Every structure is written in structure tokens, then in C-alpha cells.
Amino acid sequence: MASVEREKSSQKEKNLFFHGAKFQAKVSFFTFVRSKQLFFMKGNRLQWFKTEEREGRNFVFDPLRKRFVLLTPEEEVRQKVLYLLVEHLKVPAGLIAVEYSLKVNGLDKRADAVVFGVDGRPLMIVECKAGSVPLTQAVLEQAVRYHSALRPRYLLLTNGTVTYCYQVEGQSISPLDHLPDYGEMSGEAHE
């Protein structure tokens, strides 16, 4: 019964997002320890997924913000995506802003993460949702609103299980069948 429900939910997600670019992350970083044990991975000199418990609540160390943050389901997804960006897609850690503040139609908003080029221009907006939150048209519309303020070339939406990536050119939003690495994001020639 549960698999039928998941299949129906999955079909709804496929029908959204311009019929495109749903793909499962193939890297094992989406397996994350949800226990009170200390678990961390070192890569590229950053310490990832170090957790600690304080007053009955779990915290995870964010190596980009250089502090412990409450380990909510959304934060778990954000940490996995940050790891993916830095360790696999080769985004320089210093060019990622986490919980980036912006104004949209005069309202204060916050993008989960923004990737910048070396020239300071935004390259990608990352919008994370908890694993239990389906990626709906409303999530895409949220990212598009953020896009209106920053004008990056890419939008990345994920709930840790399902990931969508889009390339934006002018008024056109096209789904991608892959995640661009930093060279592609920044327009550098690479093989």
C-alpha cells in the first residue's frame, strides 16, 4: 500500500516541473546518520556531518557557517547538498552563502544556499525541503521568485530524495538531466 502511495506521489512530481529532470542522487551522501553518535567525514579539509546532542536536541556542525546548527529534517538535507556542492561538484566553499538573505517584492526572504562566481555574481540558488516535503510546483515558484531578485543561471531544488535542477536563460526555464559542476556553472571550459 505504501509503495502505491509513493508511486502516485512520484507520478505527481513527474507531471510537475515541465516534465523534466527528476533524478535520484547516486552518491551515498544521502545516507545520513540520525543517531546520537558522533559521525563525521573529512573531505577537502572541511569537517562534514559532525553531530552533538545538547539538552536532548541534536545539532550538526556546518563547516561553511563554522558553527553548530539545530539538526532539523531540512537542515539535514541542506548539509547533504552543501557536501555535494563542495566535495563532488567542486564549488569553492568560500563561494557558497548559506541562508542568504534577499528581498523579493519588498519582502525579506532567505534562500537555503546561493553559489557565487569569483566575480560575485550569483550562479545557482539552492532550495532545500525536508525529506517528507514533496517538491511541488509551489517549491519551483518559490525558487523562481528568489531568481527574480538574484538572476542566477541555475536553480536546484531537493528534498534529499528527489532533486531537480534547472537552467534559466531569459524567461526560459529548462530542466537539466544532470547537476552542473562549478566549471559548468561559472562558464569555464572543461572536459
pLDDT at 45: 65
Average pLDDT rounded to a whole number, residues 56-75: 95
pLDDT at 156: 95
For the segment 77-117, what is each residue's pLDDT rounded down to a tens digit? 999 999 999 999 999 999 999 999 999 888 899 999 999 99
With vertex at residue 67, the alpha carbon angle to CA 183 and CA 47, rounded to the nearest 5 degrees, is 55
Domains assigned to the chain: 11-31+73-186 (3.90.1570.30)
If you search the block for the grid coordinates 544556499, which residue do you land on? Answer: 113
Whole-model pTM over 0.85: no
For the segment 140-182, what is each residue's pLDDT rounded down to a tens digit? 999 999 998 999 999 999 999 999 999 999 889 999 999 999 9
For the segment 29-63, what is each residue's pLDDT rounded down to a tens digit? 333 333 333 334 444 467 888 999 999 999 999 99
Neighbours of 76 (CB within 10 A): 22
pLDDT at 3: 41
Question: What is the Cα–Cα distance from 126 to 112, expressed in whole angstroms?
Answer: 6
**3-state SS string for 12-79:** HHHHCHHHCCCECCCCHHHCCCCCCCCCCEEECCEEECCEEEECCEEEEEECCCCEEEECCHHHHHHH
The answer, yes or no, to whether residue 132 has pLDDT greater than 60, is yes
Give residue 1's identity as a one-letter amino acid code.
Answer: M
Give residue 97's identity as a one-letter amino acid code.
Answer: A
pLDDT at 9: 42
